Chains A and B, each alone.
Chain A
Amino acid sequence: MEMKLFGMIAEKAEAESIALEAASVMELKRKAEERIEGLAAMSYAIAVDRRIMNDDAPLNGNEEVALLPPFAGG
């Protein structure tokens, strides 16, 4: 699946998205942390179909997934 990246995470990865395969949010995080240097030390959330999900949420591969750094609106 294609994971969207934003803000400082997109900057670190030098990409707007990366391709990853994962069966759960936890696995997605682990793989993203392997791929993006420094991510493990950062504060971030995972959105699945535009909602923030916990680590144990399963993935079937057809979701829209995104990695979100801290919010800064306003």
Chain B
Amino acid sequence: MSETKAHKKRDIFLEGPIDTAFIAESIAKHATRTDIGAHEIFLGQVRADRAAGTGGKFPAPTTTAIEYTAYRDMANEQMLPIREEAFARWPITCLHVHHSLGTIQAGELCFFVFASAPHRQAAREAVAYVTDEVKKRLPIFGKEIREDSTHVWKSNQ
């Protein structure tokens, strides 16, 4: 069975931040796949953005966390063609995508894209493509919580 089929039913979502131990374990699981010569990883981290437009004497509040929600069934369905496009375009061995749900504090990891291939260029390009397409095509929503307890809704435009 191909990797694509093996992963068809996978839920990309995890509750809470992505633990660095989970990332290390994901890498370690590939030790038996000796046809792999390159791993490429993208990690998204919640950034403590300062709100625009209200600087000066009263500095704008910074983001302390993002609360992620998703239309989970649709997001997992939308992930399938992205995965298939990546396997069709690049000779990659495997591809793993995970995204957080719930409240993720600034400095914590919320998005993990991991491709492995015999050679580095395929892994690199596949990760860049999948990262961008997930941001564009998956119905994931982010509420940026600020230090003054107000919030704004994040938008990938």
> A residues near B, CB below 8 A?
4, 6-8, 43, 47, 50-51, 66, 68-74
B138 in complex: contacting residue of A43, A66, A71, CB < 8 Å: A71
Query: In the complex, which range does the number of interface residues on chain B fall in?
Result: 20 to 34
A55 to B153, CA, bound (A): 25
Which B residues between 105 and 143 are near A, CB-CB below 8 angstroms? 110-111, 131, 134-143
Interface pair A72/B71, CB less than 8 Å apart: no
A50 to B141, CA, bound (A): 15
Interface pair B156/A6, CB less than 8 Å apart: no
Interface pair B73/A50, CB less than 8 Å apart: yes
B62 at interface, CB cutoff 8 A: no
Which B residues between 40 and 70 are near A, CB-CB below 8 angstroms? 44, 68-70
Give a binary string over B79-122; 1 marks a CB under 8 Å from any A CB, 0 the rest: 00000000000000000000100000000001100000000000
A7 in complex: contacting residue of B69, B110, B131, B134, CB < 8 Å: B69
Which B residues are in CB contact (< 8 Å) with A69?
A: 141, 153, 155
Closest beta carbon of chain B to A39's beta carbon, Å: 14
Interface pair A50/B136, CB less than 8 Å apart: no
> B residues near A, CB below 8 A?
44, 68-71, 73-75, 77-78, 99, 110-111, 131, 134-143, 153-157
Selected A-B contacts with CB under 8 Å, 30 pairs: A4-B71, A6-B70, A6-B141, A47-B139, A50-B71, A50-B78, A51-B74, A68-B139, A69-B141, A69-B153, A69-B155, A70-B153, A70-B155, A70-B156, A70-B157, A71-B137, A71-B155, A71-B156, A72-B68, A72-B140, A72-B141, A72-B142, A72-B153, A72-B155, A72-B156, A73-B134, A73-B135, A73-B156, A74-B44, A74-B140
Interface pair A71/B135, CB less than 8 Å apart: yes
Interface pair B77/A71, CB less than 8 Å apart: no
